[in-house]
C-alpha cells in the first residue's frame, strides 16, 4: 500500500475511498453523494485527483489480493490503523469521518466493512460517529 504525506489531501481521500469500496463495489449513489458534498474540494483535491486516489487505492488492494475482489476490499486492522495514522489534523479527521458517514448512509444499508471503518476512525480519532 503506497503511503501519502501526513495530513495530505490524498491520505484523507483514501480513507473516504476505502469506506466507499470496502463492501466490494463503488456504487453510483456513493459517487453522487461525494460529488454533491464536494468531497474532493473539502479534502483539497480537484475531481480528477479524487478519482486518482480511488483508482490508486483499488490498484493497491488488487496488488495485495490473494483471491477475488471482495477479499481484496477487506484490509487488516494493522493496515487500516496505518492509513488512519496518516491523518492527525483534528479538522481533517472530522471532515473525513463526516464523508465516510455520508457514503455509508447513502444507500440505507451499512455493510460490515463500512461499520468497521467508521468505528475504527471514531475510536482512533476519539470522535463521535454521529451524522451531522
Q: What burial class does residue 30 get, using C-beta atoms within 10 Å of its C-beta: 0-12 exposed, 13-18 middle, 19+ buried?
A: buried
Tens of pLDDT along 34-77?
Answer: 999 999 999 999 999 999 999 999 999 888 755 554 554 568 88
Question: For cell 457514503, what's the residue?
Answer: 103
**What pLDDT is attached to residue 42?**
97
How wide is the angle at C-alpha 73 spanned by C-alphas 43 and 93, nearest 5°?
Answer: 25
Would you give the DSSP letter of residue 82? H
Provide mean pLDDT across the span 9-34: 93
pLDDT of residue 32 exceeding 90 = yes
Q: Residue 74's pLDDT is what?
A: 67
Domain ranges of the chain: 9-125
What would the grid cell of residue 90 be?
A: 483534528
Can you name the CATH fold of 9-125? TerB-like (1.10.3680)
pTM of the model: 0.89
Read off the pLDDT band of 95 (50, 70, 90): very high
Residue 72's pLDDT is: 45
Q: 20 Cβ partners below 8 Å, 6+ apart?
A: 26, 27, 30, 31, 34, 54, 103
Amino acid at each position: 500500500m503506497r503511503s501519502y504525506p501526513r495530513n495530505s489531501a490524498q491520505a484523507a481521500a483514501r480513507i473516504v475511498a476505502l469506506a466507499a469500496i470496502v463492501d466490494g463495489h463503488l456504487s453510483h449513489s456513493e459517487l453522487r453523494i461525494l460529488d454533491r458534498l464536494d468531497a474532493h474540494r473539502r479534502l483539497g483535491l480537484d475531481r480528477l485527483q479524487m478519482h486518482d486516489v480511488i483508482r490508486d487505492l483499488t490498484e493497491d488492494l488488487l496488488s495485495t489480493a490473494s483471491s477475488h475482489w471482495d477479499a481484496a476490499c477487506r484490509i487488516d486492522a494493522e493496515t487500516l490503523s496505518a492509513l488512519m495514522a496518516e491523518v492527525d489534523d483534528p479538522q481533517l479527521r472530522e471532515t473525513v469521518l463526516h464523508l465516510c458517514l455520508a457514503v455509508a448512509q447513502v444507500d440505507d444499508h451499512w455493510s460490515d466493512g463500512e461499520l468497521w471503518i467508521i468505528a475504527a476512525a471514531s475510536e482512533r480519532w476519539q470522535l463521535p460517529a454521529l451524522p451531522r
